[in-house]
């Protein structure tokens, strides 16, 4: 991995992490992006860099300990733009079933690597700041919650961190909702206000891309 500075982390809390926990990051980059006309949105450029690479670089520049990219649609092309980053690639052959299939693939990777918690980053969100990922980690290890999600100006965003105790539940989600219901309904979810508009800015359409690059 790139040089990642170790963050100061506080005491343990119930149903949360510890200072010694291994926290990984998963880039969800398998979808077809059907609302984006004219090609694969993950490969479209923002300021000269493919959208999916910018999302992966957010994790790469953060304090996560390891990274896995989940690919599916045009897997070889997506993996190619990530090839020189220090991360692993997992294939989701069932990507047409929706985001949940990629989440399950990411959970399998997290279990195989024995991660204590996982940050799930959407591959179509190129503007999230690495410091936001570090904030999620800090909140988790201080014991405030086992699910940590960012908010910006009152709107919930991504990425989201899940402790390992939620891997079983994440493995049962279906469709395109991912872990949304778990985030919204679990008693140990913590919402953290961040000064990062990138947590609410994804690229779904050509219009989104044009707006983002103006």
Per-residue model confidence (pLDDT) at position 10: 27
Per-residue model confidence (pLDDT) at position 36: 67
Domain positions in the chain: 23-212
Model confidence at 165, pLDDT cuts 50, 70, 90, reads very high
More confident residue, 102 or 10: 102
Give the CATH fold of the 23-212 domain. Spore Coat Polysaccharide Biosynthesis Protein SpsA; Chain A (3.90.550)
Q: At what angle do helices 130-141 and 51-60 cross, to 10 degrees?
A: 40
Q: What is the pLDDT of residues 93-119, one digit of tens each?
A: 999 888 999 999 999 999 999 999 999
Alpha helices (H) along the chain: 51-60, 75-80, 99-113, 130-141, 167-170, 180-185, 206-212
Q: What is the pLDDT of residues 36-61, one digit of tens each?
A: 666 789 999 998 999 999 999 999 99
How many angstroms separate the Cα of 94 from the Cα of each of 28, 47, 76, 104, 204? 13, 31, 15, 10, 20
Per-residue model confidence (pLDDT) at position 210: 76
C-alpha 69/C-alpha 50 separation (Å) is 14
Q: Is the N-terminal amide bond of 140 cis, ω within 30° of 0?
A: no
Nearest to 124 by CA among 24, 36, 2: 36
Q: In this model, does residue 81 exceed pLDDT 50?
A: yes
Model confidence at 129, pLDDT cuts 50, 70, 90, reads very high
Q: In this model, does residue 5 exceed pLDDT 70?
A: no
Share of the chain above pLDDT 70, in %: 86
Q: In this model, does residue 160 exceed pLDDT 90?
A: yes
Mean pLDDT of 148-157: 97
- Please return the burial class of 187, using the count of CB atoms within 10 Å of its CB with bins 0-12, 13-18 and 19+: exposed
Q: Which two tokens stand for residue 149?
A: 């999600």
Q: In this model, does residue 33 exceed pLDDT 90?
A: no
Q: In this model, does residue 182 exceed pLDDT 90?
A: yes
Tokens 């520049």 -> residue: 61
Q: Which two tokens stand for residue 130?
A: 């690495």
Per-residue model confidence (pLDDT) at position 52: 97
Nearest to 194 by CA among 118, 142, 128, 140: 128
Q: What is the pLDDT of residues 57-78, one digit of tens each?
A: 999 999 999 999 999 999 999 9
């Amino acid at each position: 991995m790139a040089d990642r500075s170790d963050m100061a982390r506080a005491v343990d809390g119930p149903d949360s992490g510890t200072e010694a926990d291994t926290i990984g990051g998963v880039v969800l980059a398998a979808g077809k992006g059907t609302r984006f006309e004219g090609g694969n949105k993950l490969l479209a450029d923002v300021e000269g860099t493919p959208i999916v690479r910018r999302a992966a670089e957010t994790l790469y520049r953060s304090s996560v300990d390891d990274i896995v990219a989940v690919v599916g649609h045009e897997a070889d092309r997506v993996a190619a733009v990530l090839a020189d980053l220090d991360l692993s690639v997992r294939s989701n052959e069932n990507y047409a079933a929706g985001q949940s299939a990629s989440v399950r693939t990411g959970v399998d990777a997290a279990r195989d690597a024995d991660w204590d918690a996982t940050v799930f980053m959407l591959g179509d969100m190129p503007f999230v700041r690495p410091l936001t990922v570090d904030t999620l980690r800090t909140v988790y290890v201080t014991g405030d919650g086992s699910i940590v999600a960012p908010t910006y100006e009152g709107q919930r965003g991504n990425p989201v961190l899940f402790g390992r105790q939620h891997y079983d539940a994440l493995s049962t989600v279906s469709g395109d909702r991912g872990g949304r219901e778990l985030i919204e309904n679990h008693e140990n979810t913590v919402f953290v206000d961040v000064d990062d508009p990138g947590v609410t800015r994804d690229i779904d359409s050509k219009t989104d891309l044009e707006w983002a690059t103006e």
